[in-house]
Structure formats: C-alpha cells, structure tokens
Chains A and B, each alone.
Chain A
Amino acid sequence: MEYKLIDAPLGKILKVTGIKAGKDARHRLYALGVHIGDKIIKLSNTKWRPQLIQNLTSDSSKIAIGKGLSEKIFVTESIDEN
C-alpha cells in the first residue's frame, strides 16, 4: 500500500516510491541522499511539525522534511524487511 510520507507508519522500514515535488526540492532531497528506491524509517510521527526520517540505504543520516513536502513523497512498506 502506498502512503504519503506524512501518513506512513512510524518505525517501519519504508521504500521511497515517488517524489512528486518541484525541481528545487528534488535537487535538495537527492543532495541529502534521499532517492526513489531508498529504504527509510520514520522517526517521528507528529503531524504539526516536520517528519523526521533516517535513510537506511546509503547511511544513517537523519533528515527533517517539512509538512508540505511530506505530502509529496510517496512510500510503501518494505514487507520483506519488517
């Protein structure tokens, strides 16, 4: 099942399936190591503040993603690894 990042479950391993944001935001996400196909985990689930994710594919960097942008990033649960 595909979720928007903002609605995705906490603590589960998620796979990034789509980034439907503008060019600058995609530029920044790639620069910070977030790409389609990467496995991530959500570390915070509070909707009124940015979403905090940790990238499991490339390294363990933590990235805060604003609320608006979290609605443009799509993920699925990575079933085999949960």
Chain B
Amino acid sequence: MKINNKNIDFVIALVGQPNSGKSTLFNVLADIKVSTSNFSGTSVQVSQTVLSYGGLNLLLVDLPGTYSLNSTFEHERITFDYLLNSKVDLIINVVDVSLLTRSLELTVELTELNKPMIIALNMYDEAISQGISIDENKLSEILGVDVIPTMAIFGKGVKELMDTAINNLRFRKNKASKFLFTSKIERSINEIENEIKRHLNGNSELARFYAIKALENPELLKISINSDVRNKIKTIEKAIVSDRNQDLFEIFSYERHHIAMKLSKQISTFKDTRKKPIKQKIDELLLHPVLGYIFLLLALFLYFFLIFIVGDTVSGLVETPLSKLPELYESLSENQPFLWYSINGAFMGLMGVFGIVLPYFLPLIFLTSIYEETGYTARIAFLLDGLFHKIGLHGKSIVPFILGFGCTVPALYASRIIESKRDRTITGILLTFIPCSARIAVIFALAAAFTGPIWAMVVFAFVLLVVSLSGKALSKVLTKPLGLILEIPNLKLPSIKISLEKTWRKLREFLKEAVLFLLMGSIILGWLEYFHFDVYVNSLFAPILHNLLDLPVELGSTLVFGFLRKELIIVMSTQALGVATLSALPLTVEQVIVFIIFVTLYFPCLATFIVMTKEFGWKTSVFAAVFSITVATISAFLFKIILSI
C-alpha cells in the first residue's frame, strides 16, 4: 500500500539530545512501517517514515538531536524550525536516563512549546548499570504527561510507547505542565506574552513560547515584533541584566538547569556501585595520551583499509561488466554520432556513479555509522583536535580528509559529522585538494612514465602543504572558530542492523538526489565533445596552460574531460597530443611535473561539484572551484619557476 500526504492522520516528532538513542528508536519504529515516502521541501537531515499503527497512518519524523531549543548551531536549529513551523500532533521526547538532569533541561524547554508530548525514558539499562533508578510514575505526575521506559536498541518498551502515543493522539490529551521561572522573569514573560498575543491572530498557544524566546534569543524568532515590543524587551533586559549581572539567555539557562536538577532529585535515586564499569576502563585506554593514539592508528587503519578493500573489490567487479556496455552502442558512432556521444556521455556518468562513487560510498556510510554508534568518532575528534587546530580546524575533520584519498564525494558526505558550519565549509573546500584515487592514478601514471616515484612523493608532500596553508588562510578569513566543546558520549555496542538500515536510507537519498544531475551533466559533456568544443576550450585555457605554464595548448580540453572523470586525463592527453602511449607524450620532465601539480589541485570533478552544491550551496561550490583553480595555477607556476632555475 502506498501512502501519500493526504492519508496521514497524525505527525509524530521524535525530539531528544544527541546520542539519546532517538535515531535508534526511529529505526526500530520504522521497521513496522508499511510504506516510506519523502515529502518535498524538507531537509535531508530530517528522516521521515510513514507507519501504520493502531489503525492510524502516522508520519514519524526524526528531528536532528539538539541540546536545547536555543542553539547557535545551524543543524540544531532545524529542530527548532520544524517544531515551530510544521504540523506536529505529538512530540515524543527521548530522554537519556543515564544523563538525566541534562536531558531534562531540554524536556523543560519542550514543555514551553505547549504541544502534546509523551516521554520515552531511554537507555534504562545504562542507568541501571550506573546505579541510577527512576520513579517514572512520579515524573509522569509532575510533568502531567505519559512516561514510558524504553531500551530502544533491544526494542524494549517500544510497543508500550506506540500504544501510549496512539492513545494520546486519539483522545487529544496531555499537554505538559508549565514550569515557572522566578517571579521577576515570569512577570517579564507575561508582559511580553500579552503584547505578542495581539500579533499572533488567535494562535495564542505559542504566545508564551514566543515571549520566552523574544527575551532569551530574539534572533531565533521569525515573527515580526513591532518597535513598541522591541523597546519593552530592551527595557526589561536592561533592568534584569543590571540586577542579576548575567545576560538574559544565561538567566533562562540557569533557571532551567535548576528546575531540571530539582526534578531529577525528585524522581531518581543513585546507589554508588563502587565498581568501576568495564566500559569506563576501556574508555580510559581509548583516551590515554599514549595508548589512545596507538589504538587510534589501528582503528583508522581498519576503517580505511576496509573501505578501500571493499571499494576496490566492488569497483573492479562492477567496472568489468559495465565496460562491456559501449559495445552495445558502438555501431551508432558512425551513422548517428550525436546519439552515440549522448549515450556515451550517460555511460561515463554511470561508470562514475556505480564504478567509483558507490563502491566506496556504501562501506563508508556503514562503517561511519558503526564508529559513530560506539561513540568512537567523538573520541577521534578529541585525540586529534590539537593537530587540526594548527590549520584552524577541529579533530572531526580527519575522517573526511582521509576518505578524500578514496573519493571526494563520500568524503563530502562524511563532513556532515562536523557540527559547526564554518569548520564544515573549510573542510569541504580543502577536500578539493586531497587527491582522490582517480587523481592518484593520474599522478602515478604520469610519474611512472616520466619522473619516477620521488616526484609522486614530492607532489603528495606539496598537497599537504597546500591543505595546511589554505586551511590557515580560510580560517583567518572566516569567522573565528568557537573552540572545541564536545560531548564524549558513553561507549555503546553498535547495532549492525541499524547501521545497515542507515546505509540503505543514505543510498536511496544519493540515488534520488545526485544520480540524475550526474547523468545530465555527463550527457552535456558528451555533447560538448560532439560539437568539437575542445577548440574553444583549448583557447579558453590557453592563457593559463600555454602562456603562463608553458604547456601545450591541446591539453586544455583534457582538463574538461578530467572534470568528468579524472582518470580520463590519462587517455585524453595522449589523444589530444596524437600519441599512443603516455611515455610518448611530447613533454619535458619539467612540463610533466607542472601538469601533474595543476591536475592534482584544480577542482576534482563534476560529481564533487554537484554534491558540494547540494551539501553547501552553490556559492561555496563556485568559490571552491575558483579557489582551487587559482591555487592550482599559482602552485604550477611556482613549480615552473623553481624547475627552470
């Protein structure tokens, strides 16, 4: 049965802090789905599934984990925007019981939204192992909503949770009790709330929430506030700040912190087990200043070794049958050349997707998910932060960087693990300089034919220098980094099933969103080839390639084919210069080195451009393209000068 938008009875949003087990719960619930569907206009970072339960069709939305509804991080604001601007009939607040007080701070904030809510007290097993016991009935009594203990990873409590959700949806009950701030703050909220009610045209349910946010963080609000209200907020802020010597956002945060602490004390008891849990002992080793790094090397080796081995094997298996496909349309090349170039363009795109990108992409997503689930990714960031700080980034950038040596596309996807937009953008731009396997093939092929392996190593060393210097330069231009503040979550056992499901969802997303653009782009490049666009391209690149770098003008068109697939440069350069083998290219050793430097550093490929535009926006991808071509030109020119001395 296919369910569309119109058949959905209710929308349930899962809201919780990062690592609260929210996505695990989503995956367990998604298992009982009857059909999945995607809805236009929603962010890729919001996972959704439609499930049929208790006779109702429910849209289940897994919102990105957020520590508060007051976040300064863009991806956490998605949750805020969704809760405020989309239809949500019920919130399931996933609370990590092992971090009860901090999790309850978000719960307190969610009650301010005045929407129907139930609580999933998750990770009960973890809490028990830490000696924490919870009185869920008391919490339910205080909050005025249903509270269900769950262990999502084992599927425990999930049925009870869904039954409770259905019960709440059918009978429209249970909006959470309101928590009161201290009297002065409450008076200010009431004052602003009354003003805001006049703006909301009858939607006064959210008036208190808007009033709190107007005082706490007005930048978050998208409703227009007239100058009278704005002046009132300023007056209140001035009075409270001078009285309490704290910013308003700090006052709200401290008050919620105290409410959550009080709540936590009322509902939980702690029994000191005196026994150091095994997980803690393992963690001490993983974070150890010496042993931690030895383990890190092993973990990274295993990660990349598996990705490269699986990628390389699958790539080989896929490319052999795929490479036979051109035989099927070979006959068209003479009679219908335009059609041949179109089909061949599409074929090249297909080879790129199924022969290069996907074989590396799938093991990458699966293993990243496994590492993330265990909590080790945060530990990698912790261990490498000092090193990456030197180029203006944080430790989490290591994962996309090393993956970039395989293929830039999955590396760009992997950059999603970096929360800060600034750091993620710098990482994305720098990734264009990391030689992927196709560029490594070009470097080795040309180096083997002309210069020997030493120059290949010089090129790699130079690339590292370019990455460091560019990182430094970009981090100086962009806003100052926040500085690392990173939760190191408890170590957990990963679930292979959940990681496989995550991989499947990412694959579907990739196929749906990137493949069409890739095929279209490849067909257009085929047409450019058909119309002998190479003449124009050569003259376009002539000022750089010929005049500045002293390379044959014919190599210009190879750069365009290199944009489709970097390894095409090997074939196309021989074709462009009319020779049969690479070693027969009419180039001096110096010219080859200059050409290698340029090819290694100029923008990777069409697939990278498309995925980068999708992930970072067109401004960033255009900037990255211009930046990389500029750096490639300057670097190649420098090499030309040095080699001519």
Chain A residues in the interface with B (C-beta under 8 A): 21-33, 35, 43-44, 46, 48-50, 52, 55, 57-69
Q: Is B621 an interface residue (CB 8 A)?
A: no
Query: With a CB–CB cut-off of 8 A, which chain A residues contact B247?
Result: 23, 26
Query: With a CB–CB cut-off of 8 A, which chain A residues contact B451?
Result: none
Taking a contact as CB atoms under 8 Å apart, the answer to whether B485 and A29 are in contact is yes
Most buried by B among A21, A32, A48: A32
CA A52 – CA B280 in complex, angstroms? 14
CB-CB under 8 A for A58 and B488, given A30-B250, A31-B68, A67-B389: no
CA A45 – CA B67 in complex, angstroms? 27
Taking a contact as CB atoms under 8 Å apart, the answer to whether A31 and B484 are in contact is no
CA A31 – CA B79 in complex, angstroms? 15
Q: Which residues of B399-455 have CB atoms within 8 Å of chain A's CB atoms? A: none
Q: Is B382 an interface residue (CB 8 A)?
A: yes
Query: With a CB–CB cut-off of 8 A, which chain A residues contact B378?
Result: 64
CB-CB under 8 A for A66 and B487, given A24-B72, A31-B67, A59-B99: no
- Chain B residues bordering chain A, tally (CB within 8 A): 38
Q: Is B130 an interface residue (CB 8 A)?
A: yes
Most buried by A among B67, B261, B394, B488: B488
Distance in Å from the Cβ of B191 to the closest Cβ of chain A? Answer: 24
CA A29 – CA B487 in complex, angstroms? 10
- Mind listing 15 A-B residue pairs with CB under 8 Å? A27-B72, A28-B72, A33-B102, A35-B253, A35-B254, A49-B385, A50-B386, A62-B488, A63-B485, A63-B486, A63-B487, A64-B382, A64-B484, A64-B486, A64-B487
Taking a contact as CB atoms under 8 Å apart, the answer to whether B383 and A49 are in contact is yes
CB-CB under 8 A for A65 and B485, given A44-B289, A50-B385, A59-B98: yes
Most buried by A among B100, B249, B485: B485
- A32 touches which one: B72, B261, B487 (CB < 8 A)? B487
Query: With a CB–CB cut-off of 8 A, which chain A residues contact B385?
Result: 49-50, 64, 66
Distance in Å from the Cβ of A72 to the closest Cβ of chain B? Answer: 8
Q: Is B164 an interface residue (CB 8 A)?
A: no
Distance in Å from the Cβ of B288 to the closest Cβ of chain A? Answer: 9
Q: Is B482 an interface residue (CB 8 A)?
A: yes
Residue of A nearest to B19 (CB): A61
Distance in Å from the Cβ of B289 to the closest Cβ of chain A? Answer: 5
CA A42 – CA B100 in complex, angstroms? 21
Q: Is B577 an interface residue (CB 8 A)?
A: no
CA A57 – CA B100 in complex, angstroms? 11
Taking a contact as CB atoms under 8 Å apart, the answer to whether A64 and B488 are in contact is yes
**What 0/1 readout, one digit per residue, does chain B (60-104) give for beta carbons within 8 Å of chain A?**
000000011011100000000000000000000000001111100
Taking a contact as CB atoms under 8 Å apart, the answer to whether B70 and A60 are in contact is no
Distance in Å from the Cβ of B17 to the closest Cβ of chain A? Answer: 9
Taking a contact as CB atoms under 8 Å apart, the answer to whether B67 and A61 are in contact is no
Q: Which residues of B221-276 have CB atoms within 8 Å of chain A's CB atoms? A: 247, 249-250, 253-254, 257, 260-261, 264
Query: With a CB–CB cut-off of 8 A, which chain B residues contact A55?
Result: 102
Residue of B nearest to A71 (CB): B483
CA A65 – CA B488 in complex, angstroms? 10
CB-CB under 8 A for A58 and B101, given A27-B70, A31-B70, A35-B257: yes
Distance in Å from the Cβ of B97 to the closest Cβ of chain A? Answer: 10
Residue of B nearest to A61 (CB): B99
CB-CB under 8 A for A21 and B483, given A27-B249, A30-B253, A58-B101: yes
CB-CB under 8 A for A30 and B257, given A63-B488, A65-B485: yes
Query: With a CB–CB cut-off of 8 A, which chain A residues contact B193?
Result: none
CB-CB under 8 A for A49 and B70, given A33-B105, A35-B257: no
Taking a contact as CB atoms under 8 Å apart, the answer to whether B482 and A58 are in contact is no
Distance in Å from the Cβ of A17 to the closest Cβ of chain B? Answer: 14
CB-CB under 8 A for A32 and B102, given A52-B488, A63-B486, A64-B484: yes
Q: Is B287 an interface residue (CB 8 A)?
A: yes
- B386 touches which one: A23, A49, A52 (CB < 8 A)? A49
Taking a contact as CB atoms under 8 Å apart, the answer to whether B289 and A61 are in contact is no
Query: With a CB–CB cut-off of 8 A, which chain A residues contact B289?
Result: 44, 46, 49
Taking a contact as CB atoms under 8 Å apart, the answer to whether A59 and B485 are in contact is no
Residue of A nearest to B252 (CB): A30
Distance in Å from the Cβ of A76 to the closest Cβ of chain B? Answer: 19
Query: With a CB–CB cut-off of 8 A, which chain A residues contact B257?
Result: 30, 33, 35, 58
Nearest first, the 10 A-B pairs at minimum CB distance are A66-B484, A31-B67, A58-B101, A33-B102, A69-B483, A30-B253, A62-B488, A66-B483, A49-B386, A28-B485
CA A30 – CA B67 in complex, angstroms? 9
Query: With a CB–CB cut-off of 8 A, which chain B residues contact A61?
Result: 99, 102, 487
CA A65 – CA B381 in complex, angstroms? 11
Query: Other than the known A31-B68, A61-B99, A64-B486, what 6 A-B pairs have Cβ atoms closer than 8 Å?
Result: A28-B482, A30-B250, A31-B67, A64-B381, A64-B382, A64-B385
- B101 touches which one: A27, A48, A59, A66 (CB < 8 A)? A59
CB-CB under 8 A for A48 and B386, given A59-B98, A63-B488: yes
Query: With a CB–CB cut-off of 8 A, which chain A residues contact B382?
Result: 49-50, 52, 64
- B100 touches which one: A59, A64, A66 (CB < 8 A)? A59
Query: With a CB–CB cut-off of 8 A, which chain B residues contact A64?
Result: 378, 381-382, 385, 484-488
Query: With a CB–CB cut-off of 8 A, which chain A residues contact B71?
Result: 27, 31
CA A62 – CA B280 in complex, angstroms? 11
Residue of B nearest to A47 (CB): B386
Taking a contact as CB atoms under 8 Å apart, the answer to whether A50 and B484 are in contact is yes
